[in-house]
């Protein structure tokens, strides 16, 4: 059955967005990512204009992350305190990032810089997570308790003022740490035009040293607020949110997020990390292919990437 999308000005078979929503919602509930890095290109592939695809996806993520946050909160896996600090940092970072894009556009070549940043970030994050989780899976098998060799970064982080305890995550950090890294991810996410879940998750795991299951819940909580803001701005300034498309997507994604959260409880932290790493690497490879192969059409609609 086909439905007409009033803002995208195109018609789509309803099974496509519902199926995509289910798949991406599942990933969202499992890993605490919004899944924009998968959903937006898929929507474009199915004929949705790129600007509408990105804006509508953020509306859909509001639903998926509400559903996911709720599921994780029920089992006590959301660190609200940490989430709020990260959000505050991310908000400021987003503002800086938007200015950054203006500077890049003024310099010309913005697209090149953005695409390269995106590929590098995905590649680095994916490879690091893959290698690290593989190593920790191997170590787990040989010896259980590993004496913590403190890195320079960890020592520096502990020396900072305003140390506070994050109960849920079981870690102690200076409040400056989540503020700073939230801001850092916020800048990159704004420049790349993505939600940044795939960056925030590794930051929480490797820098903030939070347990993987709390990371997923907290990341979703944070993504929820980011996407509310983005949806509103997109609807208000660019008129790019397609309500019908969003509803079709969220029918799938809200259920997907619940199923993902249930599955996630059955998997170990390392298993979650390594699967996420594989997905991020697969997306990296896909983008590299897209960049190097001659596109079938040399013209495209304006907006988006």
Partner 1 sequence: MRYLNPLFRLLTLCGALAAVGLLPRGVSAELTATANHDRITIGFFYHGSSVSVRGSADSGCDLIIKIASPDGSQTLKKKGKQAGFLWMNVGSLHLEEAPHLYALHSTGDLGAIVNKGEREKYVLGYDALARQVKMSPVADDAEKERWFGEFVRFQEHSGLYAASIGKILVRNENGKKNYYILTQWPYQAQPGVYTVTVYAVKGGRVVETAETKVSVEQVGLVKRLAGMAKDHGGVYGLLSILAALGAGFGVGMVFRKGGGAH
Min CB(232)–partner 1 separation in Å:
4
**CA–CA separation, 181 vs 39, rounded Å?**
25
- Phi, psi of 145, rounded to the nearest 5 degrees: -95, 120
**CA–CA separation, 16 vs 18, rounded Å?**
6
- From 83-91, 127-135, 190-198, 228-236, span contacting partner 1 (CB under 8 A): 228-236
- From 32-40, 94-102, 161-169, 233-241, span contacting partner 1 (CB under 8 A): 233-241
Per-residue binder mask for partner 1 (CB under 8 A), 80-119, x = binder: -------------------------------xx--x----
Instruction: Report the candidate in 209, 221, 228, 298 with the shortest Cα–Cα distance to residue 257.
Output: 221
Question: Using the rule CB under 8 A, is 299 a contact of partner 1?
Answer: yes
In the list 40, 226, 258, 284, the residue contacting partner 1 (rule: CB under 8 A) is: 258
**CA–CA separation, 29 vs 216, rounded Å?**
8
Instruction: Report the candidate in 21, 23, 5, 3 with the shortest Cα–Cα distance to residue 13.
Output: 3
Q: Around Cβ 70, how many Cβ atoms within 10 Å?
A: 18
Instruction: Report the candidate in 40, 67, 111 with the shortest Cα–Cα distance to residue 258.
Output: 67
8-state DSSP, 295: P
| Interaction residues for partner 1, span 48-67 (CB under 8 A) | 59-60, 62-67
Min CB(133)–partner 1 separation in Å:
28
| Interaction residues for partner 1, span 175-214 (CB under 8 A) | none
67, two tokens: 């559903």
User: Which positions lie near partner 1, rule CB under 8 A?
Assistant: 1-4, 6-7, 9-11, 47, 59-60, 62-71, 74, 111-112, 115, 228, 231-237, 239, 241-244, 246-247, 250-251, 254-255, 257-258, 262, 290-302, 305
């Amino acid at each position: 059955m086909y439905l007409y999308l009033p803002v995208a000005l195109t018609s789509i078979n309803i099974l496509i967005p519902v199926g995509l929503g289910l798949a991406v919602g599942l990933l969202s509930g499992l890993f605490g990512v919004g899944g924009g890095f998968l959903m937006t290109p898929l929507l474009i592939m199915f004929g949705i204009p790129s600007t509408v695809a990105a804006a509508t996806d953020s509306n859909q993520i509001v639903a998926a992350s509400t559903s996911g946050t709720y599921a994780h909160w029920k089992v006590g896996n959301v660190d609200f305190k940490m989430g709020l600090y990260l959000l505050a940092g991310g908000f400021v970072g987003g503002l800086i990032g938007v200015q950054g894009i203006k500077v890049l556009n003024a310099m010309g070549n913005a697209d090149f810089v953005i695409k390269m940043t995106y590929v590098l970030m995905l590649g680095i994050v994916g490879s690091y997570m893959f290698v690290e989780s593989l190593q920790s899976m191997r170590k787990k098998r040989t010896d259980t308790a590993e004496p913590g060799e403190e890195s320079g970064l960890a020592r520096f982080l502990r020396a900072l003022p305003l140390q506070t305890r994050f109960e849920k995550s079981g870690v102690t950090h200076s409040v400056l740490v989540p503020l700073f890294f939230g801001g850092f991810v916020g800048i990159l996410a704004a420049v790349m035009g993505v939600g940044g879940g795939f960056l925030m998750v590794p930051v929480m795991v490797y820098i903030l040293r939070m347990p993987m299951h709390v990371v997923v819940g907290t990341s979703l909580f944070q993504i929820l607020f980011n996407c509310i803001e983005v949806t509103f701005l997109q609807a208000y300034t660019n008129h790019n949110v397609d309500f019908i498309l969003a509803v079709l997507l969220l029918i799938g994604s809200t259920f997907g997020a619940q199923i993902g959260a249930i599955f996630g409880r059955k998997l170990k932290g390392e298993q979650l990390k390594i699967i996420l790493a594989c997905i991020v690497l697969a997306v990296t490879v896909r983008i590299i292919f897209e960049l190097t192969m001659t596109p079938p059409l040399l013209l495209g609609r304006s907006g988006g990437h």
